[in-house]
Amino acid sequence: MANGIPGKRKGCAFRLGLPFILAMAVAAVGILYYRHKFDSYPCCHKALDNAFDQWMMESKTNAYPNLNGDSVKSLAAVMPWVGRVKERVSEQYAYIPGLKPDDQNQAPDLVLLYMKKKTRFYWHEPRAVAPEPMWMVIAPGFYSGDPQANEEHNRVYAEPGCLWDTAEFKRRFRRTLDYLRENKRPHWESIVKEQEKILDAIHD
C-alpha cells in the first residue's frame, strides 16, 4: 500500500504537468510562427535620425547621402553612426537618395527610408501593433507619424515613421521619384532608373 501511493502521486503529477507542457510547446510554436511571419521589427528610428544628422554635420552639407545615386552605398555612409543595430538597418531598410531634410515642407508625401518587408509594429515598442502588416515609411525630416495621416493614425507613433498600405506606399514612392526628377537632384537619372525597378516589384 505504501509503495503504491508515491506511484499514484507521480502519475497524477504527470497528468497535471502534461497539459502545461503541451500548452508551452504550442505557445513556443506560435511565437516562432509569429516572428517568422512578422519578422520585420523596426529599429530605433530616433537613432537613425541622429545618424543621418551626424553624417550631414561631418560632411558639411544640408542634404542626405547621395553617392552617385546608389541607394545601398548611400545608406552605408551613415552606418558608422548607427551603432549596434547597423546590420539590422542594412538588412531591413531601403533608402532613396537625393532628398534633403526640408523637402518634407515642400512635399509632405515623400519616402526617404522604408522597411523592405511589411510590419505590424508602429515603432520598436512590441506592444504597439497594427491589425495587418503594412509598409513602414520614414519621410525626410524624420517626422513622427505623418502630417497627412489622421489623428488616430498618428497617435500611436512615438518615433519617426508611419505605416501605409501597398497602394499608398507605391503612390508615395512614385511621388518621390517624380520629385527628384522635377527638382533635378544630383544623379536623379541613376536614382530613378534604379528605384523604378524596385517600385515595379513591390506587391502585397
Category of 92 on φ-ψ map: left (φ > 0), alpha (ψ -120 to 50) or beta: alpha
Residue from 93, 116, 96, 88 nearest 201 by CA? 116
The DSSP code for 130 is E
- Mind listing the pLDDT tens digit for each residue in 14-26? 455 666 666 666 5
Q: Give dist(CA 68, CA 87) in Å, integer.
A: 23
pLDDT in tens, 41-53: 899 999 999 999 9
Angle in degrees, 0-180, between the axes of helices 188-201 and 166-182, rounded to the nearest 10 = 170
Question: What does pTM read for this prediction?
Answer: 0.80
Q: In the chain, where are the structural domains located?
A: 1-37, 45-201
The reported pLDDT for the residue numbered 146 is 73
Q: Say what the pLDDT of residue 64 is.
A: 98
What distance separates the 2 farthest-apart alpha carbons in the chain?
93
Nearest to 53 by CA among 78, 34, 17: 78
Amino acid at 169: F
Residues of the chain scoring pLDDT < 50? 1, 13-14, 29, 31-33, 35-36, 38
pLDDT of residue 39: 54
- What 3-state DSSP class applies to 89? helix
Q: What pLDDT does 33 receive?
A: 47
Q: What is the 3-state secondary structure (H, E, C) of 65-108?
A: CCCCCCHHHHHHCCHHHCCCCHHHHHHHEEECCCCCCCHHHHCC
- Tell me what percent of the chain is helix, strand and coil, each rounded to the nearest 5: 50, 10, 35
Query: What whole-number distance in Å separates Cα of residue 122 and Cα of residue 156?
Result: 7
Query: Tell me: the pLDDT tens digits for 169-192?
Result: 999 999 999 999 999 999 999 999
- pLDDT at residue 144, rounded to an integer: 72
Q: How is residue 143 written as a grid cell?
A: 517626422
- Number of Cβ within 10 Å of residue 98's Cβ equals 28
Q: Write the burial class of residue 89 (CB in 10 Å: 0-12 exposed, 13-18 middle, 19+ buried).
A: buried
